[in-house]
Structure 1
Amino acid sequence: MVNGDDNNARITNGNLAEVGQFPYQAGLNVSFGNSSTTWCGGTLISHRWIVTAAHCLDGAESVHVYLGATNISDVTEPGQRHFIVDQSGIIVHANWTKSTVTNDISLIKLPRLIAYSQTIRAAILPRLVNGSYSLYEQQTAYASGWGRDSDSSDSVSPVLRYVAMPVMPHILCRMYWSGAVSEKMICMSTSSGKSTCHGDSGGPLVYRDGNSSYLIGTTSFGTSMGCEVGFPAVFTRITSYLEWIREHIPDLP
C-alpha cells in the first residue's frame, strides 16, 4: 500500500558515500507557507537545472538547495554550494496527481549557472540506443540520499548514503503493486533491507556505464509496511519525461 508518508523515501541499510562519489546529488530543504519544511533529494542535470519529485515541491514557497555536499550538517565542508530558489524557479508537472502518484516529477531552476567541480557535476539523461531507450531491467542501479537509515530512525541522515541494487523487471513490479505501477515508473529490488524510504524522495536512480552516470529514475514512493521489508521501491521513469524536460529546458545538451 502507498500512503502519504511513504512519498518521502530514505536510504535504509546503505553504504556511506565518499566525497565526490555522487556529484550530481542535490539536497533540498523545502519550505511551505505554513512554516513547515521537508527534506528531499534531487539530481543536477545541467549547469542550472535540477530534477526532483512533484510531491516534494507541490505547494512549496522556496527551496534551499545543497550541491556538492556529503555531510549536510557541516556547511563548511569543502566543495559545498548553497542556493535559495523561490516559487518562480519551481516547475511542477501540470498533470501531477497525488492520489495515484502519477507524473511525479518537477524541475528547479537555480538562480545562476554553476561551475562544475570535483564535487558538483550533472548526471546524463538517457540516450537512444538503436532507436529505443533501455528498460535497464536486471542492471545494477544506484540510489542515493540523506534519508533515514532504518525504519526505527526518526530523522534524516546527516551523511549521504547509497545502495546499489538491480532494476526489477516491470512485469514483476506490477505484480507486487497489484497493477498500481505504470509504464512511466521504474522499480528497484530491495533485498536485505536495502532500499529508499523517508527523506530520499526526488533523489536519483542512476545507471553507470564506465565513467558516465545516466539518470534513469527519481525516487517516488514505497510501501507503508516499512522500508526494510523487501518490497520494491518505485521511481519516476526519466525516459518517459524527456520530452517534458526538454520543453522546459530547450537548450539542454
Structure 2
Amino acid sequence: MKVFITILALAVASASAFDEKVFIKDLPKSSKIEGRVTNGYAAPEGKAPYTVGLGFSGGWWCGGSIIAHDWVLTAEHCIGDAASVTVYFGATWRTNAQFTHTVGNSNFIKHNNADIALIRIPHVDFWHMVNKVELPSYNDRYNNYNEWWAVACGWGGTYDGSPLPDWLQCADLQIVHNEECGWTYGSVGDNIICTRTVDGKSICGGDSGGPLVTHDGNKLVGVSNFVSSNGCQSGAPAGFQRVTYHLDWIRDHTGISY
C-alpha cells in the first residue's frame, strides 16, 4: 500500500494546538489510521448507483462519482502518478462490477490548486444500478449546507488495519459550519465542506474521492479528502472538497451545469 500524507501548515502561532489534516489514499497497516467508512452500514443493492470504485495502476483504491454519461469526479490525490485506472460500475460487491472500463492518464484532469479531479470515461448508459448523481445548481452555489444530512459511501476498510471490505459501506453524516471545523484544524478554506464524526461514523483512506450526497435533493456536495491525523474515529470532523466551490471548473472542463 502507498502512503499519501500531506500536512497543511496552519497560519497561527499556536498551530500545535490543532489537529493535522491528513490527505488520505492508502496508508500502511502500521499507521495510525486505515482507510474506511467507519461504523457505517452495508449498502442495499442500488443504494448509490453513482458510486464507482477506482483501481489505479499503482495498486491503490479510491472512490468516485458518476456525474455524466462520460465523466467521473474524484480527488486529485487519488490520481497521483498513475498511468491508468479501472473504473468499477455498479459494484455493490467491490470487485464484482456490472462492468468496468480502463482508461489511461490522458483522460485525467487534475485541479491545479485543490484536491479534486475529473476522469473522462467511455459513454455509459444509465439504469437502476449505474446512474449519475446531480451536481448542485448555480442557484445553490452559495448554499453552505450547514446542518444538512448527507450520505458518504465507499469500500474503505471497516476498522484499523482491516482489508478493504467486499460490500459497499455507507454512513449518514451531518454537515457542519466551517467555523466548527476550524476549531479542530485551525483553518479551513471556502473550498472545504466538513462533517461531524459522531459515534465514530466517518470516511477514511479507501474512501478518498468518494461522494457526499445530500439526503434532501440527492445532490453531490462533497468529494472525500481528509481526516485528522489522530484517526478517522477520533471525533474530529472529516473534510471534503466543496462541490459548489468548483462548479465553474467542472463546467469549463465537462460542459456540465445546472
1:115 aligned partner, one-letter code: D
1:2 aligns with one of 4, 8, 21: 21
Q: Spell out the pairing of 1:24-43 with structure 2 (5 A cutoff).
A: 24-31=50-57, 36-43=58-65
Please state if 1:135 is matched with 2:144.
yes
Distance 1:250 1:182 in 2: 26
Please state if 1:206 is matched with 2:216.
no
Partner of 2:253: 248
Q: Spell out the pairing of 1:1-253 with structure 2 (5 A cutoff).
A: 1-3=20-22, 6-8=24-26, 9-31=35-57, 36-75=58-97, 80-95=98-113, 103-110=114-121, 112-129=122-139, 132-153=141-162, 155-179=163-187, 181-209=188-216, 212-250=217-255
Q: How many residues in Structure 1 have an aligned counterpart in Structure 2? A: 231
Distance 1:223 1:251 in 2: 33
Residue ranges of structure 1 left out of the alignment (5+ in a row):
96-102
Distance 2:96 2:251 in 1: 35
2:133 aligned partner, one-letter code: A
Distance 2:169 2:87 in 1: 18
Aligned with 1:218: secondary structure? strand
Comparing 163-172 and 131-140, the one that deviates more: 131-140
| Contact 1:140–1:167, Cα closer than 8 Å, also in 2 | yes
Distance 2:22 2:202 in 1: 17
| Contact 2:21–2:185, Cα closer than 8 Å, also in 1 | no
C-alpha deviation, 1:74, in angstroms: 3.0
Distance 1:40 1:165 in 2: 19
Give TM-score, length-normalised by structure 2.
0.85
| Contact 2:82–2:105, Cα closer than 8 Å, also in 1 | yes
Aligned with 1:167: secondary structure? strand
Distance 2:141 2:231 in 1: 35
Aligned with 1:191: secondary structure? coil
Partner of 2:11: none
Distance 1:183 1:94 in 2: 16
Distance 2:172 2:182 in 1: 21
Q: Percent identity?
A: 38
C-alpha deviation, 1:152, in angstroms: 4.0
C-alpha deviation, 1:12, in angstroms: 0.7
Could you report, residue by residue, the CA deviation over 1:14-36 in whole angstroms, capped at 9, with x for unpaired residues?
100011110100100011xxxx3
Distance 1:84 1:147 in 2: 21
Distance 1:91 1:41 in 2: 16
Distance 2:251 2:149 in 1: 27
| Contact 2:135–2:220, Cα closer than 8 Å, also in 1 | yes
**1:136 to 1:60, Cα distance in 2 relative to 1, 3 A:** same
C-alpha deviation, 1:94, in angstroms: 2.4
| Contact 1:150–1:228, Cα closer than 8 Å, also in 2 | no
**1:64 to 1:114, Cα distance in 2 relative to 1, 3 A:** same
1:2 aligned partner, one-letter code: K
Aligned with 1:246: secondary structure? helix
Distance 1:37 1:151 in 2: 20
Distance 1:169 1:228 in 2: 20
